[in-house]
Amino acid sequence: MTRHVRGMVWGLAVAGALVLAFAGLLGSGVLAGSGGGSSDIETQWAVSGHANEELAKEEATVEMRQAGAASCARCHASQGFQAWVAQLQAGQPGNLLGPDGKPASVEYMQSLGLTTAQVKPIDCDACHTETYELRIAGSTPMLPSGFAAHGVGSGALCMTCHNTRNGKVAWNATDPGRFTAPHHSAQADVIMGQNAYFVNVDAASFISPHAAFTGDACVTCHFELGEDGHKFEASRKVCVDCHGPEYTAARVEGPTRELLARTAKAYNERFMALYASKVKTADLWDPDTDKTSAGAPLDGTSIAGVELTAIHGQQGLKMTLRDGQVVYSQLAGLKGSDGKPVVPTSDPLVRGAWNYLMILWDGSYGVHNPAYTRAVLLATESALAQRP
């Protein structure tokens, strides 16, 4: 047992009520089931993505992002998240605010420790209070993704960070008016059946039984039934615990991969048929240097095919040219002879890209919400296939 964890257990011993709960967990074997007991907690955490200090330095410090750290530090730094929770519970899921209620200043963020010297990743204090309770449980406050999740047990904590973070999507909008991509962390939106275009998420409840009827949603599969507790990894065999010995993730993932591939194909076909040849210039982005050459000449007839991605939070394309060269641009950066984006935000390509990336980046290939994932991908493929 490391010194840190021993100190922590002693902390629990001081909090009389909690020690009973803790002993109860040990006695009931819940702790053993979640990875061999408390001595493993710190080592499990240390090898998990949550302990990724480089990512916190990169995304959540004033040196790297200046005032923009007020967005990313909400979920990418322990200090940022802790400051944000109170604000969130007061109904303000937007960027970090200062004590005066105005957008957080660089000085204020320095005082929180959002600097390369002091920033902390998603550590014990991000998720737990001093008495090792979870900072958020049961239900979430209103999230940056424009919805709140009610009655989801300990999973509420996870959903507070693991959501698309870009506001509510109106499912039947004909023109979203933006090229925004969902964030990499689309899990809450997918498991709660929210924020897709082309499917009526208001009329039908697409909430997954895996969120509503497993007790603790994310935490049930990624912790309680997981093999390595605080690594928060879900085994692809976790299904057998509830669905019987023959049932594995592959049974849902295989068909989902097929639907994703069909959607990507429909996207490429639509772009090539309606827009590729109109491209005259592109904001060419170099993934190695992260530099963009705005307005670089690109003859659209040289594009052989495209794949969807995101570049700096915006929808982007990886384009393979007829000579085999691969180039990247944000979708908004592909311009025609009139100097305007060739693809209007009203084209189904833009809503389709949001849906596709949300399902892809959810990362569970349908497991989180099998019925919703299917409905979204089938509706997206069909919308992309319709020609004006």
Tell me how far, at minimum, the Cβ of 388 lies from ligand HEC, in Å: 34
Kindly state the number of chain residues that form the binding site for ligand HEC, as judged by CB under 6 A. Answer: 79
Q: Which stretch binds ligand HEC (CB under 6 A): 107-115, 196-204, 239-247, 264-272?
A: 239-247
Q: Which is nearer to ligand HEC, 74 or 335 (CB)?
A: 74
Tell me how far, at minimum, the Cβ of 270 lies from ligand HEC, in Å: 27
Length of the chain as a residue count: 388
Q: Which is nearer to ligand HEC, 342 or 353 (CB)?
A: 353
Tell me how far, at minimum, the Cβ of 296 lies from ligand HEC, in Å: 24
Q: Which is nearer to ligand HEC, 49 or 344 (CB)?
A: 49
* Measured distance CA(121)–CA(201) in Å, rounded: 34
- Applying CB under 6 A, among 1, 19, 67, 134 the residue interacting with ligand HEC is 134
Q: Which is nearer to ligand HEC, 134 or 304 (CB)?
A: 134
Per-residue HEC secondary structure of the chain comes to: CCHHHHHHHHHHHHCHHHHHHHHHHHHHCHHHHCCCCHHHHHHHHHCCHHHCHHHHHHHCCHHHHHHHHHHHHHHHCHHHHHHHHHHHHCCCCCCCECCCCCECCHHHHHHHCCCCCCCCCCCHHHHECCCCCECCCECCCCCCCCCCCCCCECHHHHHHHCCCCCCCCCCCCCCCCCCECCCCCCHHHHHCCCCCCCCCCCCCCCCCHHHHCCCCCHHHHHHHCCCCHHHCCCCCCCCHHHHCCCCCCHHHHHHHHHHHHHHHHHHHHHHHHHCHHHCCEEEEEECCCCEEEEEEECCHHHEEEEEEEEECCEEEEEEEECCCCEEEEEHHHCECCCCCECCCCCCHHHHHHHHHHHHHHHCCCCCCCHHHHHHHHHHHHHHHHCCC
375 binds ligand HEC (CB under 6 A): no
Q: Which is nearer to ligand HEC, 187 or 281 (CB)?
A: 187
Residues 349-368 that bind ligand HEC (CB under 6 A): 363-364, 367-368
Residues 243-282 that bind ligand HEC (CB under 6 A): 243, 249, 251-252
- Applying CB under 6 A, among 18, 52, 168, 171 the residue interacting with ligand HEC is 52
Q: Which stretch binds ligand HEC (CB under 6 A): 39-47, 100-108, 318-326, 346-354?
A: 39-47
* Measured distance CA(58)–CA(69) in Å, rounded: 10
- Applying CB under 6 A, among 201, 256, 370, 377 the residue interacting with ligand HEC is 370
Residues 185-224 that bind ligand HEC (CB under 6 A): 185, 187-188, 191, 208-210, 213-214, 216-223
Residues 152-171 that bind ligand HEC (CB under 6 A): 154-155, 157-163, 165
Pattern of binders to ligand HEC over 308-347, x per CB under 6 A? ----------------------------------------
